[in-house]
């Protein structure tokens, strides 16, 4: 189809993005049917989870729901949007992808623990060390908060979110959800899982009467990098292994 992405690769990417949506659902990062993932294909086109004729939520996403569209939301291949519609919040994805050439994948989800922790006034802190080393490092780098709870359905709003995100890996959308970036679907989805886990721990600490605090700086400095891709591959296989059976197509 393009100089960059061949048909076999494209099918693999559709499969992987669909699995990413199902992991978000299995991890309860998007209660209900909302949420979506996008993945950059080339300069003009992305893959994105669309709403299809049998829409029944992220948990039931199949590769058929993952369509090639342009950054303007038009079909990226002939007939690609026949029967499918792009998400209302497509601008959230494309404005981040436009501003951040280093980002390939954008996850948008509505994780209730992350949203609740922010609404409770808890700032995400690197509360843990060896419990989740990549998650702790991500949070230590800062997770900015976009303060509005609106549906991000215009380029202007998408641009505002992208502005708040800046060079960070993720941002919270107050009263709404998260945007999480990555170099691949597994990386972005696993980052969303980590953020929600740390938000959950914050809520547990606060509920037990404690104050969520970052771990010692010295401990953080000693945390090793466990080797990105090996760790990522194992963590991803783990997520896939705990998915319920393949959804109906
Ligand atoms: Zn949303």
* 36: nearest Cα among 167, 177, 244, 149: 177
Range of the domain at 138: 7-241
What was the pLDDT predicted at 225?
A: 78
42: domain CATH number? 3.40.225.10
148 torsion bin: left (phi>0), alpha (psi -120 to 50), beta (else) = beta
pLDDT band, very low/low/confident/very high, at 229 (cuts 50, 70, 90): low
Is residue 247 in some structural domain?
no
The residues annotated as belonging to the active site are: 89
Report how far ligand 1's centroid is from the alpha carbon of 14 (Å): 21
Report how far ligand 1's centroid is from the alpha carbon of 7 (Å): 30
Across the chain, what does the average pLDDT equal? 93
Tell me what the mean pLDDT of segment 204-225 comes to. 92
Is residue 246 in some structural domain?
no
Report how far ligand 1's centroid is from the alpha carbon of 224 (Å): 34
Report how far ligand 1's centroid is from the alpha carbon of 226 (Å): 33
Tell me what the mean pLDDT of segment 190-215 comes to. 97
pLDDT tens per residue across span 25-81: 999 998 877 899 999 999 999 999 999 888 888 999 999 999 999 999 999 999 999
Is residue 233 in some structural domain?
yes
Report how far ligand 1's centroid is from the alpha carbon of 110 (Å): 6
Is residue 1 in some structural domain?
no
Collapsing DSSP to helix, strand or coil, 61 comes out as coil
Q: Total structural domains in the chain? A: 1
Q: How far apart are CA 189 and CA 24, in angstroms?
A: 7
């Amino acid at each position: 189809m393009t100089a960059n992405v061949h048909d076999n690769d494209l099918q693999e990417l559709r499969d992987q993005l669909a699995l990413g949506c199902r992991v978000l659902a299995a991890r309860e990062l998007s209660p209900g049917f909302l949420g979506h993932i996008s993945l950059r294909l080339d300069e003009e086109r992305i893959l994105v989870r669309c709403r299809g004729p049998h829409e029944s939520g992220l948990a039931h996403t199949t590769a058929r729901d993952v369509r090639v569209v342009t950054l303007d939301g038009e079909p990226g291949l002939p007939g690609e949007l026949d029967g499918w519609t792009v998400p209302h919040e497509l601008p959230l994805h494309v404005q981040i992808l436009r501003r951040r050439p280093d980002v390939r994948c954008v996850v948008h989800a509505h994780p209730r623990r992350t949203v609740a922790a922010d609404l409770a006034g808890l700032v995400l802190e690197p509360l843990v060390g060896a419990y989740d080393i990549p998650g702790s490092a991500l949070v230590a780098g800062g997770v900015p908060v976009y303060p509005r709870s609106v549906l991000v359905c215009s380029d202007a709003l998408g641009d505002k979110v992208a502005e708040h995100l800046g060079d960070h890996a993720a941002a919270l959308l107050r009263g709404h959800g998260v945007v999480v970036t990555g170099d691949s679907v597994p990386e972005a989805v696993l980052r969303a899982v980590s953020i929600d886990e740390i938000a959950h721990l914050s809520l547990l600490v606060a509920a037990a009467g404690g104050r969520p605090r970052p771990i010692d700086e010295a401990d953080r400095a000693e945390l090793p990098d466990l080797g990105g891709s090996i760790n990522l591959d194992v963590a991803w296989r783990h997520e896939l292994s705990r998915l319920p059976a393949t959804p109906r197509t």
